[in-house]
Amino acid sequence: MANYEDKIVCSLVEDERVVVYVASSTSLVEEARVLHHTSPVATAALGRALTLTGIMGAALKEGQRVTLHINCRGPLGAILVQANSRGEVRGYVSQPLVFVPPREDKKLNVEEAVGKGSQLSVVKDLGLGEPYAGYIEMPRGSIAYDLAYYFALSEQLPSACSAGVYVGETGEVLSAGGFIIHTPAGTPPQIIEKIEDNISLLPPLSSLLWEGKTPEEITGALLSPLPYRIVGEKKLCYHCYCSRERARRTLMLLGREELEELLAEEGRAEVSCPFCNRVYLFGDRELRELIEQGSNRRFDS
Ligand code: ZN
């Protein structure tokens, strides 16, 4: 297992137009696996989504947040991942125990589990009121490839994306990581060609990370011999920011009638967080308070 912390390294190439993010995410993905008891193929799918969304988050400014949502046509159901500018990432899949037969080369068939034609959406809450939202139908069911397609189509930003998760025989995550390279319009073709060549020669990311290669070394392999400089580094970690207050607001959304029903039938309510499985309990007295607050609010408006 790689013995360094998960992180994202950001670099700029030559004319400072091309941006390259390389992430190692082994601990992040392993934490998600343990939390959600995911099957190997679900671990691989969720891990790719966590890594790439983590990178998208790292590109944001303080206080901003990105959500990746995949409504799968395959058996995984749905994948939901959120990340912020601090490298804090959380996510889950709706069918964590899914099994699909491996590919002919014995690798996990993530594409099959996600499914061609799945709906992928990216919502960026930039703190400016209405969030920015983009949406595509996934041409392959491959999270990284289709995310590059999303960037080109929805953000007019030609990009290359890759992500890999190496799952061991007993299901544990041995290595995970990914990269996103943005090559905006106007990038000299020889730079794009060089990077494309390097990508085609690059061994699978999960193998490189398993061998102990760092994001800095992988950046070098992706960009050499182009001149580039590393401009930033961020830690990447699994972090859920749910709270009792958020759980209370979720309950409020149920409305008076349903809350009164809960009170009469159960005498309490439970709200569990799908990102970290934490359970928030609201007893008889709190439930009555909520009903009262809800009806006051309605009266005010
Ligand atoms: Zn939570």
Domain positions in the chain: 7-238, 244-297
Q: How far apart are the first and last CA of the chain?
A: 57
CA of 76 from ligand 1 middle (Å) equals: 21
Q: Quick one: pLDDT at residue 4?
A: 54
Query: 93 and 78 in contact (C-beta within 8 Å)?
Result: yes
CA of 65 from ligand 1 middle (Å) equals: 16
DSSP state of 60: S
C-alpha 94: how far from chain center: 14
Q: Quick one: pLDDT at residue 290?
A: 87
CA of 155 from ligand 1 middle (Å) equals: 30
Tokens of 82: 């959120």
- The topology under which CATH files domain 7-238 is Hsp33 domain (3.55.30)
CA of 128 from ligand 1 middle (Å) equals: 25
| Amino acid at residue number 249 | R
CA of 35 from ligand 1 middle (Å) equals: 11
Question: φ and ψ at 108, to 5 degrees?
Answer: -65, 135
Q: Quick one: pLDDT at residue 15?
A: 74
CA of 245 from ligand 1 middle (Å) equals: 12
- How does pLDDT run along the chain (301 residues), one tens digit per residue? 444 589 999 999 987 799 999 999 999 999 999 999 999 999 999 999 999 999 999 999 999 999 999 999 999 999 999 999 999 999 999 999 999 999 999 899 999 999 999 999 999 999 888 899 999 999 999 999 999 999 999 999 999 999 999 999 999 999 999 999 999 999 999 999 999 999 999 999 999 999 999 999 999 999 999 999 999 999 999 999 999 999 999 888 888 888 899 899 999 999 999 999 999 999 999 999 888 887 665 544 3
C-alpha 32: how far from chain center: 11
Nearest to 99 by CA among 116, 81, 74, 120: 74
Tokens of 85: 């500018």
Q: Where are the alpha helices (DSSP H) in the chain?
A: 26-36, 40-58, 110-114, 143-154, 189-201, 205-210, 215-223, 244-252, 256-265, 284-300
CATH for 244-297, options being 3.90.1280.10, 3.20.20.70, 3.40.190.10, 3.40.720.10: 3.90.1280.10
Please state whether the peptide bond connecting residue 225 to the residue before it is cis, i.e. omega within 30 degrees of 0. Answer: yes
CA of 180 from ligand 1 middle (Å) equals: 27
β-pairing, 228-235 with 7-13? antiparallel
β-pairing, 228-235 with 237-238? unpaired
DSSP state of 114: H
Q: Quick one: pLDDT at residue 2?
A: 43
CA of 280 from ligand 1 middle (Å) equals: 10
DSSP state of 184: -
**Reported pTM:** 0.93
Sole residue written with tokens 């899949």: 93
| Amino acid at residue number 211 | E
CA of 85 from ligand 1 middle (Å) equals: 18
Q: Quick one: pLDDT at residue 125?
A: 94
